[in-house]
Structure 1
């Protein structure tokens, strides 16, 4: 199989669900500026269309950024300390390192060409400015596109003001063509057609549409809100009512900027056209962060003028008015509000004096969500439940933010983080989990069982970040508190985790002894079976590393039996990996490869990049032992890419270091630095899915021999390879062989494909090594 990366667009730009109208001049200018500046900031008033324009420009230039175009919406983020880790997570960098998130991110993107879109920065202006300055100073190939209501004020920043949409020229004879030249009119007509299917605007409507768009100053959000009103009013009626609203607004506030007046008037009018129940729900929905589902809306927003059974109809009414947007996801519909609309709702909520009450309801709802049943957290529904939590992560964050402003709220934070502690590990957000626990531990030092649980969870997260010293401090505090409280659960977890400390220090016998004791305690107190399964996996790892393969296999079988009995799908791949590693240590390379392959195939149904990395790593060791040296080097490169995406140096930590270093050394000695580096870099260039496919040998065209025989190429391709080795360009090769240049280019592409190479230099090296054969 060729390991060249196939053309693809990496990133997470959302699919546009409505047409993009106009903005040709701004789009063209933005693309031009991105060609010469590394920081471009779109500034403009709320509702002017900065976000939509940024997404379109990012999509237009994504070919320029082979390592991805990534959108980071900062609107739901309130804690500036989490900005860097939020960006890192969006780019696919998990937080398995104790290093500052910005440092890990710099390392991750230092050799990548990426565009990062930071959307809605105005409420985190100082933090955003420091982050952008630090990242751009250290990562030469990164470019950043920002949307904000004001510039960041960072050196090298280029500012592009996003104006309202173009309007029809006043006092000119109107025609369909002239109207169509106006972006504002085109937007209104398109959104009107969506709101009222079959609507046809005749010549008599042209003047009214032009006046309406001028009245709305060409602000896209205001135009879209007005277009929805055509369901019940004519264009002239909309203008009349807006004129009344503008008069009221001008009398109420002469200090507002004209565009702010326009948008405020339009949103005010939208509010006035809502029923009392719709207005109340709009205000209450503003408590959500990053979206919500219907069940959450019913739980949080019902009561005091809104019955639970009325919530759906009210949400549907707000969707019809374009005040709430509907998104489809795997488990059903979710809803969200544009940030301008949400902020307006928040203002109404404050005016109603219900902000604190809704904050508590929101907190209580997401406390119930994270504290779901043990079966959901550790049983067959575990992965589905974690996916649900991930969608609501912004709401969980907002709930914890609220908790830390309330007396006694730190204990609720303890509960929200620790109730589903594997979730923070599974999604690689260990640093954020520690962040919340550290804030709560500082705020509430009382010696309680909740604090003891928070200490061992924080210690577990620290261990997985390779912060052994920090973990030991937390675990010692937990051990002392657990003994004082007589807390058997905390004592069992501390025992297990001290065993993990010994494992990562290479003290395998001590690691096994402590973890065996922990399993006995877990079973005595009825701890969820998944905890035992993971502990047994690490016991097998320690036993295999020390050469006790029979004992390791018993641990693996016991772990797999627990997974089978209780349906803990999250941990089965780990147990299979440990069994494969045990077979590798025993010298059963075919059995090891098959078992680890089975583990790796299961990774496609989960997000456990840790196990993906360790599977690819051990497959590299197996390939090396089988004499498949270039294949092994490529797998090592792929494993390096995966470990790097975790932000961890785990291959340098026992027990991985016991095998990684010797494998790396042997391959360099066997292949030579140049060939090893070329094969290694092919692996580094793979994405995670490509790495899994390559490791599983899913394309039969890939050969695992250390070099391909010259007969793998046709006679003409061998000629071309020799000419490439002489340093000829495609044009020169074409002239030498009297063929078309396009034909020469095709031969070179076929050679790259057949030999699994990514550069002409690799062809040249191969041709030189195989000359005369």
Structure 2
């Protein structure tokens, strides 16, 4: 307002954001520069644009006592005066904007500051969007001094103290207050109304009630306008200022969770048979009226409502007759988008589609949740089929992002009500649910689902589906230590894909057979198959396949005892996984980087990388990765001399491996435990711990022989010194006898006996 070219400034924003307060503060600071005064004109009581000039005239003391039009009389009175007019709540008399323009044109020293929920659309106008208060920094909630400086928190505490003088910010209530301010979008009115409840409710209790914030946020205060006595009144005021078509558009937009693109808004508007151009014009209008926000992301603009506004919109939508149609159109659009993304995942646009689905994740969840509502799935097969289709095409996204629990929940819900659905989509859903159950270590459920999927694919004579199901059954057999079945089923799937000339799937089956060969100690065969797979994936520009092949080549070289060849393959593969945001594969790369550092005696780097892997795997609930990374971290701890920590880590790894019946991981954990207790010296024990080391090695040895998975050169080098030391302590005869005892034990017997004789 101090700039010479700014004579009309409109403060815009949603009701309750603090426009009036900011306007009054700004006017007060400018009062010294306005020789003839600052005048506050409240337009809230009027709704007739014709009354704006009389209201301004009254505030300025200009009387309507002549036959001259009042606007002309007002111009004469103000023409040579240095005045600042603060016109508050202009939105309901927006048609009077031309009068403001006339006044400014006739009065060169006049300046006007307007508060309004929408702009006046005048050429001379400058706009300042009043933002909500900044949200608290949740990373530093424990720092009460810093948190108290946050404007939203400061306002809450100040208003709470007005109704409860002893109220203060404490370590006990800081998190709840910060979350309240965030849940209320930093809107001052909402925060004030919430704080007023502090007379009866603690911040924690108040936060728990904010699921229905429109009913909670009311005030008994009588000296504020009625429209601001409840948050609902404030929003209703804005809603009723809209025309009927704008109201319909507003209700439709409330279905978007986390916002939507113009493309999505246009598609749903068209599905609802709204008039052409309503999306663009409607979005522009609601932006002008501060009911909608816009934010740019790369080349895309997203439109979204603050959650307090959206909650009101959803309630208005639900009270009408159009809710079903709006939600149906929303679900259909996001199903179409997800299906398009699914078909692009193996191509060069994979990363772009992953990012797009990431941005639309809340909308996809909302669509799936709506489709799976109990009352809806009983109305017919349409919604069930849509839910099955949506949950299956989302698997690549969920898998790459490590969202296993969410994926399994939606898929299992859809499968549970899918009895009458088409066999093809049901088979696909069963297959993906099996993959998730396997990743989470539930092999029995995975096998059951996968066999049901295979049976349906066989009924349909769907060769590709049969091969997919066989491949996954091979993976389950592999986890259980039945590598022969894993090989036979894998080769069967490979043959089917080869006959179909499905080269992309052929490449993935080569990956399967290659890693199987590596586990069986045939590194030459493994690397040969990986090279073939890599060549195909490079031709297809399949980033995921390229990265899988590269990192497995790195793993083969490492296990074969040739660490010098590892880093180039590993780094190229990791870069691709990182670009895609593939959390599971990134975690496996961290494991390999950690083992490489361990082999080079860089123990801090080894620990850092493998700890990061453990955290990621646990976050995802990925059981194989969890048991594997824990055993690797135990190796680092062993090398660092932290034998107690190493034992605890191997114990944890063994627990996870046994729960998921992962036979190779069980063997690895037993070998690790043996090496740790071989190095321990326990009070009161003679050679008992060394005997158990030999028994555990024997049990692991018997498991490996049964699976056909020998110790790799790397693993052998890690345990050799410990085995030699135990042989020397016990003597050859006793060592051989103890190892033979272990070979005769099941893993369960070995663990039980070990825990009995050598408790933690």
Q: 1:667 to 1:303 in 2, by over 3 A?
A: closer
Matches of 1:665 and 1:305, distance apart in 2: 62
Q: 1:544 to 1:52 in 2, by over 3 A?
A: same
Q: Residue in 2 aligned with 1:482? A: 457
Q: Residue in 2 aligned with 1:377? A: 345
Query: Alpha-carbon deviations, 1:12-59, whole Å to 9, x = none?
Result: 99xxxxx98565253588996451358736899xx99834279x99xx
Aligned-pair distance for 1:313?
A: 1.4
Give 1 or 2 for the bigger CA radius of gyration: 2
3-state secondary structure, aligned to 1:290: coil
Task: With the length of structure 1 as denominator, give the TM-score of the two structures.
Answer: 0.55
Matches of 2:326 and 2:357, distance apart in 1: 20
Matches of 1:216 and 1:455, distance apart in 2: 56
CA contact (8 A) 2:338 2:394 kept: yes
Aligned-pair distance for 1:372?
A: 0.8
CA contact (8 A) 1:27 1:53 kept: no
3-state secondary structure, aligned to 2:457: helix
Aligned-pair distance for 1:282?
A: 0.7
Counterpart of 1:147 (choices 207, 211, 234) is 207
Matches of 2:387 and 2:637, distance apart in 1: 50
Q: Residue in 2 aligned with 1:407? A: 380
Matches of 1:640 and 1:303, distance apart in 2: 46
1:641 and 2:641 are equivalent in the alignment: no
The aligned runs of 1:593-612 (5 Å cut-off) are 593-612=567-586
The aligned runs of 1:727-746 (5 Å cut-off) are none
Q: Which moved more, 1:30-39 or 1:500-509?
A: 30-39
1:542 and 2:516 are equivalent in the alignment: yes
Aligned-pair distance for 1:148?
A: 4.8
CA contact (8 A) 2:272 2:325 kept: no
Q: 1:532 to 1:52 in 2, by over 3 A?
A: farther
Counterpart of 2:184 (choices 46, 50, 54) is 50
Counterpart of 2:156 (choices 26, 29, 41) is 26
Q: 1:614 to 1:586 in 2, by over 3 A?
A: same
Q: Residue in 2 aligned with 1:672? A: 641
Aligned-pair distance for 1:402?
A: 2.9
Counterpart of 1:299 (choices 254, 264, 267) is 267
Q: Residue in 2 aligned with 1:505? A: 480
Aligned-pair distance for 1:144?
A: 8.3
CA contact (8 A) 1:41 1:145 kept: no
Matches of 2:616 and 2:297, distance apart in 1: 28
CA contact (8 A) 1:620 1:635 kept: yes
CA contact (8 A) 1:479 1:494 kept: yes
Unpaired runs of at least 5, structure 2: 1-136, 142-148, 162-166, 195-202, 650-760
Counterpart of 1:517 (choices 487, 492, 495) is 492
Aligned-pair distance for 1:671?
A: 3.0
Matches of 1:528 and 1:433, distance apart in 2: 28
The aligned runs of 1:258-277 (5 Å cut-off) are 259-260=229-230, 263-277=231-245
Counterpart of 1:431 (choices 397, 405, 415) is 405
Aligned-pair distance for 1:602?
A: 3.1
Aligned-pair distance for 1:162?
A: 8.2
Q: 1:536 to 1:23 in 2, by over 3 A?
A: same
Matches of 2:639 and 2:550, distance apart in 1: 31
CA contact (8 A) 1:42 1:145 kept: no
Matches of 2:186 and 2:512, distance apart in 1: 48
Query: Alpha-carbon deviations, 1:52-111, whole Å to 9, x = none?
Result: 279x99xxxxxxxxxxxxxxxxxxxxxxxxxxxxxxxxxxxxxxxxxxxxxxxxxxxxxx
CA contact (8 A) 2:543 2:576 kept: no
CA contact (8 A) 1:377 1:420 kept: no
Aligned-pair distance for 1:510?
A: 3.2
Aligned-pair distance for 1:443?
A: 1.1
Query: Alpha-carbon deviations, 1:634-658, whole Å to 9, x = none?
Result: 44333333333333342565xx48x
Q: 1:602 to 1:485 in 2, by over 3 A?
A: closer
Task: With the length of structure 2 as denominator, give the TM-score of the two structures.
Answer: 0.56
Matches of 2:358 and 2:140, distance apart in 1: 16
CA contact (8 A) 1:522 1:532 kept: yes
The aligned runs of 1:78-117 (5 Å cut-off) are none
Q: Residue in 2 aligned with 1:318? A: 286
3-state secondary structure, aligned to 1:302: helix
CA contact (8 A) 2:246 2:282 kept: yes
Q: Residue in 2 aligned with 1:215? A: 225
Q: 1:536 to 1:431 in 2, by over 3 A?
A: farther
Matches of 2:380 and 2:455, distance apart in 1: 26
Query: Alpha-carbon deviations, 1:331-370, whole Å to 9, x = none?
Result: 4111111233223333443454222222221121111111
Q: 1:579 to 1:281 in 2, by over 3 A?
A: same
3-state secondary structure, aligned to 2:267: helix
3-state secondary structure, aligned to 1:613: helix
The aligned runs of 1:338-737 (5 Å cut-off) are 338-372=306-340, 375-404=343-372, 405=376, 406-408=379-381, 409-446=383-420, 448-525=423-500, 529=504, 531-651=505-625, 656=628, 661=631, 667-673=636-642
Query: Alpha-carbon deviations, 1:720-769, whole Å to 9, x = none?
Result: xxxxxxxxxxxxxxxxxxxxxxxxxxxxxxxxxxxxxxxxxxxxxxxxxx
Matches of 1:550 and 1:609, distance apart in 2: 29
Matches of 1:334 and 1:350, distance apart in 2: 24
Q: 1:360 to 1:649 in 2, by over 3 A?
A: closer
Query: Alpha-carbon deviations, 1:245-300, whole Å to 9, x = none?
Result: xxxxxxxxxxxxxx33xx44433332232233211211111222221111111111
CA contact (8 A) 1:424 1:430 kept: yes
Counterpart of 1:40 (choices 163, 176, 190) is 176
Matches of 1:282 and 1:151, distance apart in 2: 21
Matches of 1:303 and 1:668, distance apart in 2: 60
3-state secondary structure, aligned to 1:334: strand
Q: 1:425 to 1:317 in 2, by over 3 A?
A: same
CA contact (8 A) 2:551 2:573 kept: yes
Matches of 2:289 and 2:412, distance apart in 1: 43
Matches of 1:489 and 1:520, distance apart in 2: 11
CA contact (8 A) 2:404 2:621 kept: no
The aligned runs of 1:52-71 (5 Å cut-off) are 52=186
Matches of 1:144 and 1:328, distance apart in 2: 35
Q: How much is the aligned-residue C-alpha RMSD, in angstroms?
A: 3.9
3-state secondary structure, aligned to 2:525: helix
Q: 1:465 to 1:34 in 2, by over 3 A?
A: farther
3-state secondary structure, aligned to 1:371: helix
Q: 1:626 to 1:165 in 2, by over 3 A?
A: farther
Matches of 1:369 and 1:145, distance apart in 2: 40
Matches of 1:490 and 1:304, distance apart in 2: 37
Query: Alpha-carbon deviations, 1:92-147, whole Å to 9, x = none?
Result: xxxxxxxxxxxxxxxxxxxxxxxxxxx9xxxxxxxxxxxxxxxxxxxxxxx98983
Q: 1:435 to 1:633 in 2, by over 3 A?
A: closer
Matches of 1:571 and 1:290, distance apart in 2: 32
CA contact (8 A) 2:478 2:486 kept: yes
CA contact (8 A) 2:354 2:580 kept: no
The aligned runs of 1:247-258 (5 Å cut-off) are none
